[in-house]
């Protein structure tokens, strides 16, 4: 099946084309710069963020998207009442080009503010303040050494780098720092550059003895020490440096909005707890990286991935989409019991479960097969009405949660009020969302009465957003394998 991203992209493209806000306009072909500011982002309803897929910024853990930058941006997106769309950074060298093309609205990549980068973009109020540190490997048998003995066998001053080779990514702020440092200390430091490797990759290469030294931001290097205890990141080689998010120069309203929110949020306990969660909590970090369903260690979402991969083709959906539905229903817990006697991974009600051959004693495999059969039934139910297979998906998901009757009512309301009954987003979904209001559930076209439609509305949105995260994780894992 085509990815649901296509559906989202096409939907947003239609809205974008129809948008008349003054800050959305095509730039000249020559500059290839998109003009899109806060008003347009709110109109489109989506904030697009380029975030690094790593152990602190963005990852999937036990089926749940997590990460410092991800969670911080999600809170801001909620503040301006839009959805957050994550675009994992695949090529650091092109992130500023992609930003100015409009492929993202913001870059959250632990970026140091530098004069060179200020040529290409503006930066927000600093998220963090850090320093650059040298990452070096501890000597063999370091665990048996006294602290003083260990210290004496490590480089202790930038001067000790004279005659050494340090490996950094070409074009990074680390490369600039090493060039300047080599001049400052009055001795040659050989700077070996690489192109595609990330800072995290280079730290791992130090730990595995493939290279001798690299440079990293202290906040991330300290976390890496938890994963690789044989590295040391205590030698500071720079002054304090501001870490911030990058934004297009022609998006001043977005920049101002983020700054106003960020300055206030950083004063709260919530910000401190979020920072400590990713940069101070070694126990939590170790628990994550050793877990079977941590996306950076294992290319797996749940214990049921292989079963889903086997049976998803019967429905014609990506298996990750069904996984997102199961997480929403039961958090991958086949022993889950819900309101009204709902049971199992797919949270069947007893009557529906009996129709598809499962009950509370059925295995996870049996529940998945029954759930896919039920989704197949809903697909056939909606197919004559919503012929586009991608548009049909949210109608099916809403029906799984609230039943087809209430979704049909929402279609009738949409048609009555001049919206498109064949389109979910910003059309039918609005009337399902508001079906708990008397104005709508008492309308003469409504046949199934009152419904807490906001539950089904959120249900659909959360599944589709989670599906995007799962696809991000699987795609990134496949790239890492190549």
Residue 389 belongs to domain with CATH number: 1.10.530.10
Tell me whether strands 83-88 and 46-51 are parallel, antiparallel or unpaired.
Answer: parallel
Radius of gyration of the chain (CA): 26
Query: What pTM, to 2 d.p., does this model score?
Result: 0.84
The answer to whether residue 219 is domain-embedded is yes
Locate the DSSP E strands across 339-462. Answer: none
- 26 DSSP assignment: P
36 and 15 part of one domain:
yes
Domain total of the chain: 3
> Could you tell me if 407 and 399 are in contact, meaning their C-beta atoms sit under 8 angstroms apart?
yes
**Whole-number pLDDT of residue 207:** 97
> Could you tell me if 119 and 141 are in contact, meaning their C-beta atoms sit under 8 angstroms apart?
no
- 325 DSSP assignment: H
The answer to whether residue 471 is domain-embedded is no
317 and 354 part of one domain:
yes
Could you tell me the pLDDT band of residue 477, with boundaries at 50, 70 and 90?
Answer: low
- Specify the DSSP element, H or E, that contains 85: strand 83-88
Does the pLDDT of residue 148 top 80, yes or no? yes
- Specify the DSSP element, H or E, that contains 315: none
Weakest-pLDDT range from 14-28, 68-82, 375-389: 14-28
What is the side-by-side strand order in the sheet with 231-236? Answer: 213-217, 132-137, 231-236
384 and 274 part of one domain:
no
443 and 309 part of one domain:
yes
The answer to whether residue 475 is domain-embedded is no
Domain limits at 386? 305-466
Residue 427 has phi, psi (to 5 degrees) of -135, -90
**What is the number of H-type helices and E-type strands within the chain?**
21, 13
Does the pLDDT of residue 27 top 50, yes or no? no
* Bridge partners for 246 per DSSP: 107, 123
Cα separation of 431 and 44, whole Å?
19
* Bridge partners for 157 per DSSP: none
Cα separation of 463 and 4, whole Å?
11
Weakest-pLDDT range from 148-152, 294-298, 377-381: 294-298
Cα separation of 325 and 460, whole Å?
9
Cα torsion angle, 216, 219, 220, 224, sign: positive
Cα separation of 295 and 478, whole Å?
11
Cα separation of 310 and 356, whole Å?
19
Quick: pLDDT tens for 192-236. Answer: 999 888 899 999 999 999 999 999 999 999 999 999 999 999 999
462 and 378 part of one domain:
yes
CA angle 232/234/237 to nearest 5° reads 120
> Could you tell me if 249 and 35 are in contact, meaning their C-beta atoms sit under 8 angstroms apart?
no
Residue 200's CATH number: 3.40.190.10
């Amino acid at each position: 099946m085509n990815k649901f991203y296509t559906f989202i992209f096409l939907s947003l493209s239609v809205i974008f084309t129809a948008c008349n806000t003054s800050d959305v306009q095509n730039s000249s072909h020559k500059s290839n710069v998109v003009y899109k500011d806060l008003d347009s982002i709110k109109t489109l309803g989506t904030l697009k963020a380029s975030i690094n897929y790593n152990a602190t910024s963005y990852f999937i853990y036990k089926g749940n998207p997590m990460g410092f930058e991800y969670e911080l941006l999600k809170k801001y997106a909620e503040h301006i009442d839009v959805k957050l769309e994550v675009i994992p950074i695949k090529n650091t060298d092109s992130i500023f080009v992609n930003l100015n093309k409009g492929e993202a609205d913001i870059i959250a990549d632990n970026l140091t503010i530098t004069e060179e980068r200020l040529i290409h973009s503006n930066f927000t109020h600093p998220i963090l303040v850090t320093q650059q540190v040298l990452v070096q490997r501890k000597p063999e048998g370091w665990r048996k050494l006294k602290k003083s003995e260990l210290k004496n066998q490590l480089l202790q001053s930038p001067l000790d780098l004279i005659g050494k080779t340090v490996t950094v990514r070409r074009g990074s702020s680390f490369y600039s720092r090493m060039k300047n440092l080599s001049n400052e200390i009055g001795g040659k430091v050989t700077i070996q550059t690489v192109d595609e490797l990330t800072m995290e990759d280079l730290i791992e290469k130090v730990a595995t003895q493939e290279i001798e030294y690299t440079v990293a931001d202290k906040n991330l290097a300290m976390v890496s020490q938890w994963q690789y205890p044989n590295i040391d990141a205590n030698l500071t080689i720079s002054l304090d440096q501001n870490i911030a998010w990058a934004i297009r120069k022609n998006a001043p309203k977005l920049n101002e909005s983020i700054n106003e929110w960020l300055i206030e949020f950083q004063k709260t306990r919530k910000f401190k707890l979020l920072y400590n969660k990713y940069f101070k909590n070694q126990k939590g970090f170790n628990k994550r990286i050793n877990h079977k369903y941590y996306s950076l260690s294992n290319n797996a979402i749940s214990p049921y991935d292989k079963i889903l991969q086997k049976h998803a083709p019967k429905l014609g959906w990506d298996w990750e989409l069904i996984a997102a539905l199961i997480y929403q229903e039961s958090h991958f817990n086949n022993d889950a019991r819900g309101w009204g006697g709902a049971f199992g991974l797919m949270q069947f009600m007893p009557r529906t479960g009996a129709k598809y051959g499962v009950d509370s004693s059925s295995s996870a495999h049996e529940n998945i097969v029954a759930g896919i059969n039920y989704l197949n039934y809903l697909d056939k139910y909606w197919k004559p009405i919503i012929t586009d297979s991608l548009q049909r998906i949210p109608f099916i998901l809403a029906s799984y949660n609230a039943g087809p009757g209430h979704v049909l009512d929402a279609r009738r309301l949409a048609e009555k009020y001049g919206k498109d009954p064949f389109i979910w987003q910003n059309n039918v979904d609005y009337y399902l969302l508001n079906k708990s209001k008397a104005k709508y559930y008492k309308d003469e076209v409504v046949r199934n009465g009152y419904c807490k439609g906001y539950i089904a509305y959120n249900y659909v949105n959360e599944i589709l957003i989670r599906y995007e995260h799962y696809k991000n994780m699987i795609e990134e894992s496949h790239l890492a394998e190549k």
